[in-house]
Amino acid sequence: MKPIRNGVLALVLLCAGHAFASQEAEDLKRQIESQRAAATDLERLDDRHLVTDEITLLKSWLDEAWQQYSKEEYKKVREVVDRCIAQAELIRQKITAAKMTAYANDREAAVRATHAKIDKTKKALLDAQSTKKALEMTSK
């Protein structure tokens, strides 16, 4: 009886292992697809094309993950997917930072432009004051 019991246990373990592997594969597949969608979103978010290289890299890694997945190299797929997730986060942060930088540049440009306007207005004011003085002199 003992050999039979061991055989059944081995069979159960084999089936459970197979089921677990199948679930992980599904999970990885879902993550790859999710990251592809995320890459597309990021591409749309990058309206100024500031992180084009990073996105390209992300896409190439997703392709690599998919190749590994096809080969059922799930461990490698997991590594590449983790890297893709980190890369996507990096891209998001870079886009946010770039947008903030652009906004800061814009504000600084506005400050410079306002300074220029002030200088121009001050000059116009000086001219106007001279004109006014001359008019006051002539009106006396």
Partner 1 sequence: MSAKRLLLAMLLVGGCATPPKPNELESFEKLKQSPNYQVAQRRAPDLVAESERLFSKANEEWQSNDLDLSRRDSLMGSIKLKTALALVEYDQSKARADKAQADLRVVEDEYSRVNKDLVATQEQIALLQKLKETSSQAAMQQEKMKQEMATREAAGQARDKIAAAELALKGAEQVNAQEYAKVEYQAASDTLARARAQLDAKDFQMASQNADAARDQANRATQTAKPTYEQTASSTASQARNEALAKDLAGIPGAQVRLERRGDVQRAAVPIRGLFARNSTVIQPGHEGELDQIASIMKKYPSYNALVVGFTDNRGRRDALLARSQAQATAVYSALVGRGVEAKRMVVSGNGSDEPVSDNRTSAGRALNNRVEVIFLYQ
Task: Kindly list the residues in this chain that would bind partner 1 in the complex (CB under 8 A).
Answer: 79, 82-83, 86-87, 89-90, 93-94, 96-97, 100-101, 103-104, 107-108, 110-111, 114-115, 117-118, 121-122, 124-125, 128-129, 131-132, 135-136, 138-139
Tell me whether residue 19 or residue 104 sits nearer to partner 1 (CB atom).
Answer: 104
CA distance to 19, 20, 80, 98, 108, per residue, from 29 (Å)? 15, 14, 12, 31, 46
d(CA 95, CA 100): 8
Tell me whether residue 32 or residue 84 sits nearer to partner 1 (CB atom).
Answer: 84
Place of tokens 């997730």: 85
Residue 140 CB, nearest approach to partner 1 (Å):
11
DSSP string, 53-108: HHHHHHHHHHHHHHHHHHTT-HHHHHHHHHHHHHHHHHHHHHHHHHHHHHHHHHHH
Tell me whether residue 15 or residue 124 sits nearer to partner 1 (CB atom).
Answer: 124
Residue 88 CB, nearest approach to partner 1 (Å):
10
Residue 27 CB, nearest approach to partner 1 (Å):
20
CB of 31 within 8 A of CB of 81? yes
Question: Phi first, then psi: what are they for 45, rounded to 5°?
Answer: -65, -30
Residue 33 CB, nearest approach to partner 1 (Å):
21
Tell me whether residue 20 or residue 103 sits nearer to partner 1 (CB atom).
Answer: 103
